[in-house]
């Protein structure tokens, strides 16, 4: 996560070199956020064969985060809009958001529900290729 600028620190030390706190701040701004891994927990995801599921989220500001969830089916997976969801997003949603499921050249829209902090995935049927859920959340640290 990109940290706030160290406004209480002088920009340079007595020798004219940048203070370490400012160097670290500008490094985090230029390199960006590497994200934090998390293991999404799907509820009501239909699977055939054990899927490999992984996730990562990026806190872009104190109110905006993006995330991705990768689902690699054992054999296939299916989701039903309004029924299938992820119940353990690590950040607290402050407003509803959007997510997309992308696989095999197609994409469908789902949503992030702030009231329950759930990521509702869209419908997909018997997908046999890796699928990615990508979302934009209005969320901050819990």
Domains, the chain, ordered by start: 1-32 (no CATH), 36-140 (2.60.40)
Three-state DSSP state, 97? strand
Taking the CA atoms of the chain, what radius of gyration do you get in angstroms? 19
User: For the chain (length 142 residues), average pLDDT per consecutive 10?
Assistant: 64 72 66 84 97 93 90 96 96 94 89 96 94 92 62
Distance CA(140)–CA(89), nearest Å, equals 11
pLDDT at site 52: 97
Whole-Å CA distances, 67 to 10, 18, 19, 99:
35, 34, 33, 9
pLDDT at site 38: 96
Which two three-digit tokens encode residue 141? 């640290």
Neighbouring C-beta atoms of residue 93, cutoff 10 Å: 21
pLDDT at site 61: 78
């Amino acid at each position: 996560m990109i940290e706030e600028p160290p406004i209480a620190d002088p920009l340079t030390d007595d020798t004219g070199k940048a203070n370490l706190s400012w160097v670290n701040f500008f490094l985090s701004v230029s390199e960006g956020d590497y994200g934090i891994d998390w293991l999404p927990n799907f509820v009501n995801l239909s699977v055939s064969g054990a899927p490999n599921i992984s996730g990562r989220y990026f806190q872009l500001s104190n109110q905006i985060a993006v995330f991705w969830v990768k689902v690699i089916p054992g054999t296939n997976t299916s989701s039903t809009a309004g029924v299938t969801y992820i119940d353990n997003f690590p950040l607290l949603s402050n407003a509803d958001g959007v997510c997309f499921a992308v696989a095999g050249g197609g994409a469908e829209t789902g949503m992030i529900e702030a009231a329950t902090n759930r990521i509702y995935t869209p419908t997909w049927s018997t997908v046999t290729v890796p699928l990615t859920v990508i979302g934009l959340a209005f969320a901050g640290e819990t």
